[in-house]
Chain A
Amino acid sequence: LPQGKVPASSILASAPSDKNLDAWRESGCRTTHCNLEVLQESTLVFLATKPHVLPGVLQEIRPAVGPHHIVVSLAAGVTLQTLQRLLPAGTKVLRLMPNLPCVVQAGAMVFARGSGAGDGEAALLKSLLSSCGLCEEVPESYINIHTGLSGSGVAYVYLFAEALAEGAVKMGMPGGLASRIAAQTLLGAAKMMLETGEHPAKLRGDVCTPGGTTIHALHQLEKGALRATVMNAVEAATNRACDMAKD
């Protein structure tokens, strides 16, 4: 919406209760309690329910799904295979995994296409979602990895930011200021990575004056085996995503 890609009046959201719909209406979107209405009024349909609710919803909307529809599921752990099984044969289905910072247009999203979805649909989705951040098409097998890296990854960053700030507080800086600076540091570093395209190891080296503060600090991080711990975290979250998908 903020990017002006789609006018609010073209967006229709449905939910069983009004609990969440107020926020949509405030943005100028139309709302309804009828899922079928969404199918009737829209071409591009996002399935944004919790995973366990989804099969029921799919059963409900199946009769109204046609060849012109593009169905994009956001449900974690629900495979393309499952989606395609519960929808009419040949339906254009795609699976999308976003992450939280989409709300500030700095998200990291990956999507995978089902057998019925073609280049046109993929291009449409990518173009639309680029307004929310980085959006890349991937093989379905990467989606769980994306969860471990970036879906959950956002939490790792929050943890790291908190720890940075805490270190600063220990050294005498007020917490609020420390927090803001920590966040800006992460933002700036990430921006440099994305804009320069340079290898993070090289960017790291660029900051390390011989015998200076940075290399002393990095030594502490290496002693704590930070790298391995982070790898463990990504692995654990990915494995959990895989396990949950099987349930």
Chain B
Amino acid sequence: MSVGFIGAGQLAFALARGFTAAGVLAAHKITASSPDTGLPTVSELRKMGVNFTVSNKETVKSSDVLFLAVKPPIIPFVLEEVGPDIEPRHIVVSCAAGVTISSIEKKLSAFCPTPKVIRCMTNTPVIVREGATVYATGTHADVEDGKLLEQLMASVGFCTEVEEDLIDAVTGLSGSGPAYAFTALDALADGGVKMGLPRRLAVRLGAQALLGAAKMLLDSEQHPGQLKDNVCSPGGATIHALHFLESGGFRSLLINAVEASCIRTRELQHLADQEKISPAAIKKTLLDKVKLESPSLSVASASKVSLFTNKSPSSKKN
């Protein structure tokens, strides 16, 4: 089985790294494409032995499972570009936040009567094989197709199937979740440093504390509230600290964060549906495409090339 990534940014890199580390896929069975060869992840992918190309079409041709690993507003353009090359064997897996299965199926139906589409939401810790992934299968994706994806994603962390209408909430929780954790860890380390610890040690200990706590919770039948109580000796250090967290509305901040991320995801969905894309992004991707296709042309004469074709600009994901 070969896997392709449209997009060679953080997500593509994280998944490729995870799959190869897990041993479910050899690097040479992975292809990734992006018009932007300057991305730091591109060289990382090359170093891993992944086939890198600037041609999305090439990626599609050499893959059975095709991950769309680009920013949500770019998805419609990518689908227009690679649509003609999608065959019945392809399983198209979109990782784009907020992009619905129906919008993808609608776009592809112009080229292929029964496109197999799966929508998935994962997160960056797939890179260390501790990802959190959910997926929902589209109209024409069979149970086996779902199971295939599940096997792949389970090799890099937790993976489960859900109803599509839950995916935005998952984005808010575990999609963005690592960022909340990084923020917390940065602040915890600051606390450690304030109280006298060297920074490196503070970071190491903070991360280990969260890792250990998460592991305890996953391994335990107990409610996190109970586990918290178990740490709080009467009148002790921890309960004093927790009081500060409560005073600051710690819990509500986290609830707010998950909610905000989920809501934003839904907004992005509307952007994708309307095929809106920021002028800056269009400008950059088109310019790159022009440079790649006509290396002999100077940048000054690029204006002679028609920038407004029906063909989509190449996809790009930072």
Contact = CB atoms under 8 A, between A and B. Distances in A.
Given A219-B252, A223-B252, A231 B225 contact: no
Interface string B107-139: 000000000000000000000000000000000
Interface in B201-227: 222-226
Contact of B255 (A205, A222, A228, A232): A222
Interface in A212-247: 219, 222-225, 227-228, 231-232
Interface in A191-208: 199-202, 205
A90 B11 CA distance: 76
Contact of A199 (B226, B246, B249, B251): B226
Nearest to B254: A222
B225 A202 contact: yes
B223 A201 contact: yes
B243 interface: yes
A143 to B, nearest CB: 14
Contacts of B225: 199-202
Interface residues of B, number: 16
B267 interface: no
Contacts of A223: 249, 252, 256
B247 A228 contact: yes
Given A225-B246, A228-B246, A205 B251 contact: no
A223 B246 CA distance: 10
B229 interface: yes
Q: Which of A201, A205, A219, A231 has the most CB of B within 10 A?
A: A201
Contacts of B226: 199, 201-202
Contacts of A225: 246-249, 252
Contacts of A222: 249, 251-252, 255
A228 B252 contact: no
Interface string B143-157: 000000000000000
A222 B226 CA distance: 18
Contacts of A201: 223-226
A231 B249 contact: no
Contacts, number: 40
A56 B26 CA distance: 90
A130 B55 CA distance: 80
Contact of B243 (A199, A202, A219, A231): A231
Nearest to B235: A145
Interface string B90-104: 000000000000000
Contact of B246 (A205, A219, A227): A227
Contacts of B223: 199, 201-202, 205
Chain B CB within 10 Å, residue with most, of A202, A205, A222, A224: A222
Interface string B231-257: 000000000000100111101100110
B255 A219 contact: yes
B173 to A, nearest CB: 12
Contacts of B249: 222-223, 225, 228
Nearest to A223: B252
Contacts of B222: 199
A201 B251 CA distance: 13
A224 B252 CA distance: 8
Contacts of A199: 222-223, 225-226, 229
Nearest to B223: A202
B301 to A, nearest CB: 56
Nearest to B245: A228
Nearest to A226: B246
Interface in B251-274: 251-252, 255-256, 259
Nearest to A198: B223
23 contacts: A199-B226, A200-B225, A202-B223, A202-B226, A205-B223, A219-B252, A219-B259, A222-B249, A222-B251, A222-B255, A223-B249, A223-B252, A223-B256, A225-B246, A225-B249, A225-B252, A227-B251, A228-B246, A228-B247, A228-B248, A228-B249, A231-B243, A232-B247
* Top-3 shortest CB links A-B: A201-B225, A228-B246, A222-B252
Given A201-B225, A222-B255, A227-B251, 12 more contacts: A199-B226, A201-B223, A201-B224, A202-B223, A219-B259, A225-B246, A225-B247, A225-B248, A225-B252, A227-B246, A228-B247, A232-B247
